[in-house]
């Protein structure tokens, strides 16, 4: 799936891998930018130019695109891992939660944290 306009200049190696991973995942630049909470123009620059990126955004990119930071920064010997076969129930639920508005995501996270905290307390006693 080729999306967006072609780059006027050759992409950096990081930008090329970022673009490839996003395309492999089937996401638009807008979708990734929305997940990261940044303007789409900022994300587009990451794919097209050599620019600085905050560490928290790098972790978000790796998570959203299901790639490692090593893969993004080093020349890969193969494409990023694609998820084959059915995914687990938790993975499907997390994907659904990602589609929720941020305030609802925060409510889900709070509920999960409460449940995990209770489980840890139960194990400790």
Q: What is the pLDDT of residues 21-55, one digit of tens each?
A: 999 888 899 999 999 999 999 999 888 888 888 88
Q: 1-5, 39-43, 89-93, 113-117 — which is least confidently predicted?
A: 1-5
Positions of CATH 1.10.260.40 in the chain: 1-83
Q: Identify the pLDDT of residue 1.
A: 47
The answer to whether the Cα torsion of 86, 61, 5, 8 is positive or negative is negative
Name the pTM for this structure.
Answer: 0.52
Q: Is 10 helix (H, G, I), strand (E, B) or coil?
A: coil
Tokens standing for residue 18: 């970022």
> For residue 79, what pLDDT band results from cuts at 50, 70 and 90?
low
pLDDT confidence band for 113 (50 / 70 / 90)? very high
Residue 79 three-state SS: coil
More confident residue, 109 or 6: 109
**Predicted pLDDT at 77:** 53
CATH code of domain 1-83: 1.10.260.40
Mean pLDDT, the chain, as a whole number?
82
């Amino acid at each position: 799936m080729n999306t967006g306009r072609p780059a006027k200049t050759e992409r950096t190696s990081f930008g090329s891998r970022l673009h490839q991973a996003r395309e492999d995942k089937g996401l638009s630049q807008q979708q990734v930018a929305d997940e990261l909470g940044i303007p789409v123009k900022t994300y587009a620059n990451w794919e097209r130019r050599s620019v600085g990126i905050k560490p928290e955004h790098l972790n978000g990119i790796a998570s959203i695109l299901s790639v490692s930071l090593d893969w993004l920064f080093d020349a890969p010997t193969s494409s990023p891992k694609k998820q084959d076969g059915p995914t687990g129930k938790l993975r499907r639920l997390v994907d659904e939660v990602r589609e929720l508005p941020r305030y609802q995501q925060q409510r889900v996270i709070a509920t999960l944290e409460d449940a995990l905290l209770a489980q840890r307390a139960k194990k400790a006693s």
